[in-house]
Chains A and B, each alone.
Chain A
Amino acid sequence: MTESAILQKRSLAELFSRLIAAGHRLLAPVRRDQQVGFEPVSSPQEVATDWVQTTRPAKSVVFPRYEEILRYRFAGKDVEVEEPRPSAPSTVLFGVRPCDAASFAVLKAVFTWDSPDVYFEPKLAATTIIGLSCTKADPYCFCTSVGGGPGDTRGSDILLTPLDDERYLAEILTERGRMIAELAPGLFTPADAVSKERVLAQVPARFNGQDLAARLGRLFDRTEIWLEQSLRCLGCGACAFVCPTCSCFDIQDERDRQGGLRLRCWDSCGFSLFTLHASGHNPRSVQSERWRQRVMHKFSYQPERLGLLGCVGCGRCSRACPVDMNLAEHVQSLAEISG
């Protein structure tokens, strides 16, 4: 149903106010100190410019860093349990990079493959994504190695590509995107045959993630590879906390004298406690096994189990790594060894 239109950059202010007037919460990349992240905005002036990638992805809109799954009050020896009503405000995400837009499909696959998820699904259903193609990339970007691209439309409801200083090409991709466009029909004017390719960033493919997925399992027992790649890994988990597709979580209780909360919180397979048994036995007892798990999960297990790669090539893990481990470099090397 793709429909191409031209949206003038100066019309964004009006689009924003129509979205807000229609009751949507509008989140867009905002610069704060050294970081760019998604925050509520009401005008285009607040939106950060000149960034390659937001510091953290928009994942927390559908999968918050921590989220109440139960609330309870102590009443003598009894407990009154309250099931929180999941909050899912209608949200428009503006300025989502194509890699991040693609990440929502991975999250959805994990949270819904077997049973519904009462916390995740309403949020996803209430989210509309206005993507923004990349006209710049940095050496950490590798979307083209994992099936994406700087102008990839997957996951976006509308994808904007800045054609020049004044105009966006607006690709209206879904019914949801059309509903957004119809809030301001005058702003979207028919586009002639416009090619976005010339303005897109160049991101050379370093490996073929799809091909690798079929071969990577063979390297499981090659301990020396995983050891060498992970020698400097600190197990800090920063990679997982900035990852748009990491979805592993912990469940923890927090209490005071009156009652408490049961929280679903982000976790990381890089932590040794992640798999530690009560007996002291740990199935992944050393960091190289945890690194292998991270790579295997994204590039072998998820493709086999859920039918899609668990990585969108945003490069955040490598930008955030305090010891400069580079996922793309390591996976490229695995692709070469297994090839």
Chain B
Amino acid sequence: MSRPNPYVPYRMRIAKVTEEAPGVKTFRLEFADPEQGQNFTFKAGQFGEYSVYGEGECTFCIASPPTRRGYIECTFRQAGRVTSALADRDEGDLIGFRGPYGNTFPIEQWEGKKLLFIAGGIALPPMRCVIWNVLDLRDRYGDVTIIYGARTVADLVYKHELAEWGTRSDVRLYVTVDPGGETPDWKGRVGFVPTILEQVAPSAENTIAIVCGPPIMIKLTMPVLGKLGFSPELIYTTLENRMKCGVGKCGRCNVGKYFVCKDGPVFTLAQLNQLPPEY
């Protein structure tokens, strides 16, 4: 949807705040102008600029699926000036949002295929959008496997949804925490994500892998996927370079001649292999 001045945010009301993990919150945002809400569309993988007036803007993916209309959700860790100001906001408060920006996960092309989601820490939110999108259209996709890890049990986000996915017969879920991050009553796995991936050893046959996590996790996960037989064209990730404008002008998210905000944030490993390693 094109707006005459892309820098003018939508007015969004915080409809719900969920504490996910220490310093991590999810906001459900509804359009203050319902008409804008009705006209707003996006696709899985896109992101936006969220703003607190007086503090600035920051970039997060849209963490809710496009199959659920009327609101969007974002999940963020309190890290700097803007996210701290955001974290201070309560239900009912207004914030700004502009977007959606960037390309999308080609989930229509994945219909009929099996999907393997691999996420680490605060990188589950961009994937959660895809996971719910797929689960909301469940019969169009094959097996869904999710491997998710965080440093500690407390750092796992979307705990209620993990519990729900864990009980669904049409989802295989493996949740892990780094060694030392487990609690006495922890029932999940212990070990780093690449190790768990190796243990689970999902088949690459007719399968798309979607990977998102901190750089070190990505770096160590890719070779394991390679060993399992996933070709780089079938491994997708989403990059999170620093951004300001979101519309391909401010210049800071570029990787080589590409702009993460326009040509990404979704890339296949095959595409990343052609890019300078500046992400």
A-to-B contact residues, CB < 8 Å: 69-70, 72, 74, 77-79, 81, 83, 110-111, 113-115, 117-118, 220, 247-253, 255, 259-260, 262, 264, 267, 269, 274-279, 281, 283-284, 289, 293, 296-297, 300-301, 304-305
B279 touches A304 (CB 8 A): no
A301 touches B254 (CB 8 A): yes
Contact of A70 among B8, B55, B94, B279 (CB under 8 A): B8
B278 touches A260 (CB 8 A): no
Contact of A250 among B53, B92, B244, B278 (CB under 8 A): B244
A82 nearest in chain B by CB position:
B8
Chain B proximity of A59: nearest CB distance (Å): 15
Contact of B80 among A110, A249, A255, A278 (CB under 8 A): A278
* Stretch with Cβ within 8 A of A (4 or more), from B132-140, B190-198, B255-263: B255-263
Known A81-B53, A248-B252; judge A304-B257 contact (CB<8 A): yes
B59 nearest in chain A by CB position:
A278
Q: Mark B245-278, 1 if CB is under 8 A from A, else 0.
A: 1011111101111000010000000000000101
Which residues on A sit within 8 Å (CB–CB) of B96? 81
A254 nearest in chain B by CB position:
B54
Contact of B214 among A70, A114, A269, A279 (CB under 8 A): A279
Q: Tell me the count of chain B residues lying within 8 A, CB to CB, of chain A.
A: 44
A114 touches B254 (CB 8 A): no
Known A83-B5, A115-B6, A301-B254; judge A252-B278 contact (CB<8 A): no
B2 on interface, CB distance cutoff 8 Å: yes
A275 touches B241 (CB 8 A): yes
Which residues on B sit within 8 Å (CB–CB) of A249? 244-245, 249-251
Task: Name the residue in B57, B92, B240, B242 with the highest tally of chain A Cβ atoms < 10 Å from its Cβ.
Answer: B242
Which residues on B sit within 8 Å (CB–CB) of A78? 94
A83→B248 CA distance, assembly (Å): 21
B56 touches A252 (CB 8 A): yes
Chain B proximity of A251: nearest CB distance (Å): 5
